[in-house]
Amino acid sequence: MSETMKALYKEAAKCAEEIKKYKSVHVVSHIDADGLTSAGIICTALERGNFEYTTRFVKQLDEKALDTIADENHDIVIFTDLGSGMCEQIESRGIHAVISDHHQPQGSYQFHLNPHLFGANGSYELSGSGSTYLLASALGKNQDLSSLAIVGAVGDMQHLKMGQLVGINREILEEGVKEGTLQFKKDLTLFGKQTRPIYKLIQYSSDPYLPGLTGNEEACIEFLHTLNIRFNQNERWRRWIDLEDPEKQKVVSGLIQYCLKSGIPSYKIERLVGEVYVLLREKEGTEMRDASEFSTLLNATARYDHAEIGLAVCMGDREKGYEDARKLLAEHRQNLVNGLMYVKEKGVVQLENIQYFDAGSEIKETIVGIIAGMSSTLVKNRNLPIIAFAKAEGGIKVSARGTQDLIRRGVNLSEAMSMISAEVGGAGGGHDIAAGATIPNGKKEEFARKLDLFIGEQMQRKAHSK
Ligand code: C5P
Ligand code: C5P
Ligand code: C5P
Ligand code: ZN
């Protein structure tokens, strides 16, 4: 075990001791896959420890949310996948809390489990769910929950930075492998290996973008025909998991050949194959078997105000909860398709260093970021970050998505969104590759103009530092 992991476990033990002083606990978490898995981990641990608990899911932990929580006078509150940015505001309201998070800390707090405080990077070495897994392990025998920790890390895309999970995430992964709950292996990275027909995996590939195949169903089916891949089995479309190993080989090398012929640079082609994470105790052919599909299933619940369904699935509900989640997933997919069609029809406004679209109230603000990410397959110029605007309560929601290439060239969307939103009277943050903000109504044009200049400056800074 690394020294960092030991130090984190020590802090987790201190937090666990504090929690054990109370009988009832209020859990506050974030409405995305990492937030749901974090809540699933801590609630399972609390249930096993015979605690009483209540839960609350928020889009963001702002002052208003904290006021409400303070008014409720809980004995103790556990904040998961959020809270680190609000240490002082938690303290000043007299909320007695344990914070288990991985976002950049602002201020300090007595019971605070966060990788940044122990020399690890919270954007790719430990997720909120990972942090909460350490807390749960300190509360009792909960090692089986490592699989949820990995789903949360993958949901936050922490494996993309190095092409695999590293740091404390990796140590948790290894605990899961030992425990028999997790497996990692090199495989095709395209989305949907457990549940989708093979051609769909190719059709929806956005990273890498496959010119001529991405977005073109017929071309994808034809591509598989030329490789002699049989489509049907017992009247069903075959999925990736239905293929024999030599067939998988054939598809992977076919795709690589195709990319080479299309002139795609090798570092992009390499992204077709990467480390993937399998949940061994889940049934094959279900979303929960694959960390990436599991995280999307969870997003389909919490981002539509149904966090309770995602939480139920995290806590082992494979009947009603799972059934409800799959219905929401079908709607989520439809919304994603509609959103993409909207972007395709309306097009994007291209400035010098960014491109943007304004979805108004046509796309829900909680998924406009996902659509911004997926719309990279539609736009002419994939070398510019995509910025999306959508109507939100009391302002405009902004989502920004970049690529590994852009980061290499100096773009940091987290910095840009945080700085520029503050300049127009809003607030934002996130990760270098994916960030968000809320800005006041009427500030869209000014924000876009300023962001365009700022991102230009980021790239120049990098170019000069070389
Ligand atoms: O709230 P939060 O930190 O979890 O946001 C993560 C979001 O950023 C996800 O919706 C994910 O799709 C996006 N992301 C991305 N590409 C990455 C990393 C994150 O689109 N490489
Ligand atoms: O939800 P998230 O942004 O994490 O999704 C990651 C990727 O998974 C998307 O960019 C998209 O390519 C894929 N996806 C999909 N079908 C869905 C949801 C996500 O193909 N229903
Ligand atoms: O909402 P969206 O998916 O675009 O969020 C991307 C990232 O930006 C997430 O990590 C989220 O936590 C962060 N974000 C933020 N402040 C906001 C909105 C989003 O830090 N106002
Ligand atoms: Zn997170």
* Residue 5, pLDDT score: 97
- Count other C-beta atoms under 10 Å from residue 202's C-beta: 24
Is residue 77 within 8 Å of residue 28, measured between CB atoms?
Answer: yes
Per-residue pLDDT band for 73 (boundaries 50, 70, 90) equals very high
Side chain identity at 114, as an amino acid letter? N
Instruction: Please report which residue ranges of 214-290 form alpha helices under DSSP H.
Output: 217-226, 245-261, 266-269
Q: Is the CB of 438 under 6 A from ligand 3?
A: yes
Domains detected in the chain: 3-159 (3.90.1640.30), 188-338 (no CATH), 347-464 (3.10.310.40)
What does the pLDDT average to over 133-141? 98
DSSP 101: -
pLDDT digits (tens, 9 = 90+) for 283-311: 999 999 999 999 999 999 999 999 999 99
User: What angle (nearest 5°) sits at the alpha carbon of residue 377, between those of residues 210 and 367?
Assistant: 140
* Ligand 1 atom having least distance to the Cα of 34: 4
Q: pLDDT value at position 422?
A: 94
Task: Please choose, from the candidates 57, 59, 103, 110, the residue with its C-alpha nearest in 3D space to the C-alpha of residue 83.
Answer: 103
Nearby residues of 25 by Cβ (< 8 Å), 6 or more positions away: 19, 46, 51, 52, 53, 54, 74, 75, 76, 77, 78
End-to-end Cα distance, the chain:
37
Q: Give the pLDDT confidence score for residue 307 in this predicted structure.
A: 98
pLDDT at 431 over 80: no
Q: Kindly identify the ligand whose nearest atom is closest to the C-alpha of 61.
A: 3
Measured in Å, residue 439 CA sits from the centre of ligand 3 at 12
**Residue 378 pLDDT class (50, 70, 90 cuts):** confident
The reported pTM is 0.89
**Tokens 């995430």 label which residue?**
169
Query: What whole-number distance in Å separates Cα of residue 301 and Cα of residue 33?
Result: 9
- Cβ–Cβ < 8 Å for 418, 439: no
Half-sphere exposure of 364 (CA within 13 A, CB side): 16
Tell me, using a 6 A CB cutoff, whether residue 207 lines ligand 1.
Answer: no
- The structure tokens 């609350």 sit at 56
Backbone angles phi, psi at 23, to 5 degrees: -95, -35
Task: Give residues (CB < 6 A) around ligand 2.
Answer: 191, 204, 206, 296, 299, 332-333, 336, 370, 373-374
Which ipTM was obtained for this model?
0.75
Buried b (16+ CB within 10 A) or exposed e, 160-183: bbeebbbbbbbbbbebbeeeebbe
d(CA 40, CA 30): 12
Q: Is 82 in the pocket of ligand 1 (CB under 6 A)?
A: no
Closest Cα partner for 14 from 102, 100, 108, 123? 100
- Residue 423 is predicted with a pLDDT of 97
Query: What are the tens digits of pLDDT across the range 19-62?
Result: 999 999 999 999 999 999 999 999 999 999 999 999 999 988 98
Q: Which ligand is nearest to the CA of 368?
A: 3
**If you measure from the C-alpha of residue 406 to the centroid of ligand 3, how many angstroms do you get, rounded to a whole number?**
18
Integer Cα distance of 245 and 265 in angstroms: 26
Nearest CA to ligand 3 atom 14: 436
Q: Is the CB of 436 under 6 A from ligand 3?
A: yes
E strand spans, 238-315: 273-279
- Residue found by looking up tokens 């240490």 in the block: 87
Buried/exposed code over 129-145 (b: 16+ C-beta within 10 A; e: otherwise): bbbbbbbbbbbeebeeb
Q: For tokens 């942090």, what's the residue?
A: 131
Mean pLDDT of the chain, nearest integer: 95
Q: Is 369 in the pocket of ligand 3 (CB under 6 A)?
A: yes
The pLDDT tens digits of the residues spanning 314-343 come to 999 999 999 999 999 999 988 988 998 899
